Every structure is written in structure tokens, then in C-alpha cells.
Amino acid sequence: MEVAATIQVQEPYFQAIRAKTKTTEGRCATEIYRAIKVGELVEFGCSELPSEKLICEILRVGLYETFEEMLRMEGIEQCLPGIEDLDEAVRIYRCFPQYIEKEEKYGVIAFEIRVCD
């Protein structure tokens, strides 16, 4: 099956996906991410580990107005393993370049993922 998109993630999130502890990937719901559908395959890459890739199946897609709403509904631990505080989790997402503006403009999308072995 063909890969529908490539998503870059940072460490430690790449390893958390590999370990299957991060089961939900959250992004600003821009057009490129809204095009990803349930059942499609997505390739996850990591700039710190350029030769390594993970292929994941999209199990479910959720749309939210804010990262706070996404984290409440999806679960902080599924999105950011090891983080327990909601305010800290929201800060982590909003620290990425332009995420505050994009969150307000596009909303947020969450992908429940399963690593394909």
C-alpha cells in the first residue's frame, strides 16, 4: 500500500511512536493534514535519525478547536507520553513555530496511529 504522507517528529516522540507508547499524533489542522484519512499509511521520520522511518496506519481522525480540547479528549499520555499536566502539554504543542497562530486559524487534528510491523 502506498504512503499517503510523511510526517516529521522530534525525539523523544519518534522513539515513543516506535515503542507504541505514543498512539496519537496531534497537529494543526492545515490542509495537508486534513487530507489524511482513516486506513491510510503515513511515514514518520525524525531529523535526528534521518535513516530511520516508521510506517503507521491511521486508525481514527479527530478534529478539535484547540490543543487543550484535543488533549482532554484524546488523553495527554497518548499524545505526549510521560507528561501528566494539561497546561504543560498545551505549552509543548504551542512551542512549535507558528503553532499558536495555526491553532487559531485551522484548529487541531489528532491521528490515532498503529505502527505497522
Residue 33's CB is within 10 A of a number of other CB atoms, namely 20
Architecture in CATH for domain 3-114: Roll (2.30)
CA distance 42 to 96: 21
Give yes or no for residue 117 having a pLDDT over 90: no
pLDDT of residue 31: 97
Strands (E), the chain: 3-8, 24-28, 41-45, 53-64, 108-115
CA distance 76 to 83: 7
pLDDT of residue 1: 67
Task: Read off the pTM.
Answer: 0.95
Residue 15's CB is within 10 A of a number of other CB atoms, namely 17
- Is residue 77 within 8 A of residue 20, CB to CB? The reply is no
User: 3-state class of 51 per DSSP?
Assistant: coil
What are the tens digits of pLDDT across the range 77-96?
Answer: 999 999 999 999 999 999 99
The domain spans of the chain are 3-114
User: 3-state class of 24 per DSSP?
Assistant: strand
What are the tens digits of pLDDT across the range 14-66?
Answer: 999 999 999 999 999 999 999 999 999 999 999 999 999 999 999 999 999 99
Mean of per-residue pLDDT scores for the chain: 97
